[in-house]
A and B are shown apart, each in its own frame.
Chain A
Amino acid sequence: MPLIEYRGIGKRFPGVVALDGVSFAVEPGEVRALIGENGAGKSTLLKILSGQYRPDDGDLLVDGFPERFASPRDSQDAGIAIIHQELQLAPDLSVAENLMLGALPARGGLVDRRTLRTRAAGVLERLGESIDPETRLGDLSIGQRQMVEIGRALLRDARIIAFDEPTSSLSARETVRLLQIIRDLRAHGRAILYVSHRMEEVFALADSATVLRDGRHVLDAAPVGPADEARLVSAMAGRTVSDIYGYRSRPTGEVRIAVEQLAGPGLRQPVSLTVRRGEIVGLFGLVGAGRSELFRLIYGASTPTAGAVRVDGEALAPGDPRAAIAAGIALCPEDRKDHGILPLASVRENIALAWRNLRARGALLQRDAEASAAREQIDRMRVKTPTAEAAISTLSGGNQQKAIIARWLLAGADILLLDEPTRGIDVGARSEIYGHLYRFAEAGGTVLFASSDLPEVMGVADRIVVMREGTMSGVVDRADATADGLLRMALSDQSSLTSRDLAIA
């Protein structure tokens, strides 16, 4: 009997059908991948599982019995755990306290420290983590925090565990570890729901896959393997996507931006690099390699301790984003939600923000000029939005990213720094974003993008700069780049991880 079964689940919000007649079941000892583009309804399905939403139609069956969760607590009591993409832990409490948050072992109303410690140590050992249970949670890496969250599920003896994009902030090695742990959970008869954009992980891990599109469930596949990729992707997109990178070569001009011996927070050694007009340079490195930090230093979002950034030979005032912007540099940050968008504002406001501060004349808003310029950018970038006045937070991540790029195109930026520009973005939108980058470079623009996605870096960049632990560890031309070579430069010397391990083939 399946441990968990969705039977004809429907969920509507005002103006939106989020889910429509979704049915599938997960057996004990099965890893079921849940895939689909953004807005396909994956998160809504998980929220129904976690008790945050109640379905409008259909039933959720646990152990064959229909359940109606009134709260997340009910869901937990039924043996369900959700490992969220944005982890829900208390950063100032210890690892042990976080592991047992909400169910601290107590004696006479006082926390039983000894039991807390031993149980925490036990579960950490089971996860193969050498973390001291007394460590403050906030001092752990994202990957370690995720292990703590999984540890919570183990301690509660959850039988149904759902992972929501668990690897999006993990390094390659942490990803490998996580997948091992999930395989171990499967071997112990747990039912696993695995939501991910990364097809390699799906093929490496999942026994079966359910594809959602626009709230409908369009395909079930079991077993799944790399041979199914085209079929799954076209089911997700509703169209066939062949080469998502679509690389086009182009001539490059003189050096546009030169980073000279730049040092500062997050960098262990000074970094120097140059990028030419019309060139797209990929900055490859694993999490913690210092890519975002380098971008922030170039842009002046944080203040360098030494070195200089020159645009066309002119040194920029250090630590001043407005100076960088005036020189034509734009930063599209990795964390769109916290550093990119104005969530309450309209798409138009978001697009016009930099332009009106840097290019518009006078203190008065030029509303007509702004509105028509924003609409032009929306058309050009193909931002999918009902109107220019819709709140940007209602758009999918891919469209938010396009709007932020549009913000800088409108402001006349010609040097783009893009930090993980396609993280968490579906295949169709990624392909479009690459197309925009090529067009931007063909028009003489300069692109520097950071990514931890090896195929993306190799697929899009003319030249690849590799970073490792706050230092620059190599520069490779497109023609000379190999996956193994790049990975070796990105990993610390003693490591023997290869691209095969990363892809978990």
Chain B
Amino acid sequence: MSLDRLMRRAGPLLILIILLAALSLFVPDFLGSRNLRGLALSVTLVGTIATTMMLVLAMREVDLSVGSIVALSGVLTAVVIASTGSVTLGIVAGLVGGALVGAFNGAVVAWLKVNSLIVTLATMEIVRGLAFLVSGGESVAIPAEGFYRLGTDSFLGLNYPIWAMIGCFIVFGFVLNRTVFGRNVLAIGGNPEAARLAGVPITRVRIAVFALQGLVAGLAGIILAARITSGQPNTSIGLELAVISACVLGGVSLSGGVGTIGGVIVGVLIMGAAQNALNLLNVPTFYQYVVRGGILLVAVVLDRLRQTGSLPRLPSFRGAAPRNPDESDARHA
């Protein structure tokens, strides 16, 4: 790997390292193992969902409904456990509910060819409404001690939610890089019409990606329910923005075709470290909104600069080289 390529790939990592160094200097207790574990736990929700959001964005689509899916699947799980007493049935209900919402998003986007921003904006509202309807508008207590252990127990010193996130990183990193499906996602994001004409089954891939996004958001919703020991219909409002911010910070392009799991991990950690620092420094909540919005803005501006070539391209499509400065000649050719 050439130095140039290393620099391009390591861009967000550099930001993270600088951020961590600054935080360990200025924020008391930041590097404590308790705080670091807390930090890891705090990013699990965003981190888990970011793995499939990476696929969605790399496909040149977006999914705004993930926060509502988290709420719906948590509530579904809680209601099913409360009425049947079966934890297994509850988990299945949460996963299936999430996957169905995702498949619905994908079907409308792929078959009716509607902009995913609008489709998922609509389902964001619809699914949030469903979560309130299923729960009767209240938080639903989960009467199963065993279920809570999903959120609290640990293995090798790490909580299950952290393992779930790590599992998603591994699975979807593998899917993106090593499977035909993953490369097709990037192909569709890079040039949908060219992908279609080259025989990529674009309808199938689109629906599958949204369904996976729903499934993973459902999983995250179940784990969250276990951590807060109840199904909350009003949880995770605005979560989609944090997830998208993390992906874009990690070099996933909003115009599709570009994304790496390594970048997404780094993006998630940047978001988490910043949030953690704000908490440790006792920054009031109102300022935190401003900072979080600012981070998203910076991420999007960086994405734009990368596209126009004024900044080195960050983790990118495998083997992508910098754009040819005299590209117009090549393009006309």
Residues on A facing B (Cβ under 8 Å)? 13-14, 16, 18, 38-44, 47, 85, 164-165, 299, 301, 321-322, 325, 331, 333, 337-346, 348-349, 353-354, 356-358, 360, 363-365, 367, 389-391, 393-400, 407, 411, 424-426, 429
* Bound Cα distance from A363 to B174, whole angstroms: 12
Chain B residues lying within 8 Å of A360, measured Cβ to Cβ, are 180
A400 near B193 with CB under 8 A, answer no
B198 near A343 with CB under 8 A, answer no
Residues 170-211 of B contacting A (Cβ, < 8 Å): 177-184, 186-187, 190-191, 193-201
B318 near A398 with CB under 8 A, answer no
- Nearest CB on A from B252, distance (A): 12
A346 near B318 with CB under 8 A, answer yes
A333 near B201 with CB under 8 A, answer no
Chain B residues lying within 8 Å of A339, measured Cβ to Cβ, are 191, 193-194, 197
* Bound Cα distance from A321 to B177, whole angstroms: 26
Of the stretches B28-36, B95-103, B224-232, B324-332, the one at the interface is B324-332
User: A41-B326, A357-B201 are contacts. A344–B316 as well, Cβ < 8 Å?
Assistant: yes
* Bound Cα distance from A358 to B180, whole angstroms: 11
User: A344-B190, A389-B319, A400-B330 are contacts. A321–B196 as well, Cβ < 8 Å?
Assistant: yes
- Nearest CB on A from B310, distance (A): 13
- Nearest CB on B from A463, distance (A): 26
* Bound Cα distance from A322 to B200, whole angstroms: 8
Most B-side CB within 10 Å, residue of A340, A349, A398, A399? A349
- Nearest CB on B from A261, distance (A): 24
Interface size of B as a range: 35 or more
- Nearest CB on A from B314, distance (A): 13
Chain A residues lying within 8 Å of B326, measured Cβ to Cβ, are 13, 16, 18, 39, 41, 43-44
Known: A299-B197, A342-B191. 6 other contacts (CB 8 A): A339-B191, A344-B186, A353-B198, A356-B183, A393-B324, A407-B198
- Nearest CB on B from A341, distance (A): 6
Chain A residues lying within 8 Å of B323, measured Cβ to Cβ, are 391, 393-394
B200 near A38 with CB under 8 A, answer no
* Bound Cα distance from A394 to B333, whole angstroms: 11
Most A-side CB within 10 Å, residue of B177, B182, B186, B324? B324
Residues 210-232 of B contacting A (Cβ, < 8 Å): none
A338 near B320 with CB under 8 A, answer no
- Nearest CB on B from A457, distance (A): 21
B333 near A397 with CB under 8 A, answer yes
* Bound Cα distance from A104 to B182, whole angstroms: 49
Chain A residues lying within 8 Å of B190, measured Cβ to Cβ, are 342-345
B191 near A338 with CB under 8 A, answer yes
* Bound Cα distance from A398 to B330, whole angstroms: 8
B186 near A345 with CB under 8 A, answer yes
- Nearest CB on A from B69, distance (A): 26
Choice from B178, B179, B258, B333 contacting A38 with Cβ under 8 Å: B333
Q: Does B321 contact A (CB under 8 A)?
A: yes
* Bound Cα distance from A407 to B200, whole angstroms: 13
Closest partner residue, chain A, to B175 (CB atom) = A363
* Bound Cα distance from A332 to B199, whole angstroms: 12
Nearest 5 interchain pairs by C-beta = A397-B333, A38-B333, A13-B325, A389-B319, A346-B319
Chain A residues lying within 8 Å of B321, measured Cβ to Cβ, are 346, 389-391, 394
Closest partner residue, chain B, to A44 (CB atom) = B326
Chain B residues lying within 8 Å of A391, measured Cβ to Cβ, are 317, 319-324
B317 near A345 with CB under 8 A, answer yes
Chain B residues lying within 8 Å of A426, measured Cβ to Cβ, are 333
B181 near A341 with CB under 8 A, answer no
B333 near A393 with CB under 8 A, answer no
B327 near A42 with CB under 8 A, answer no
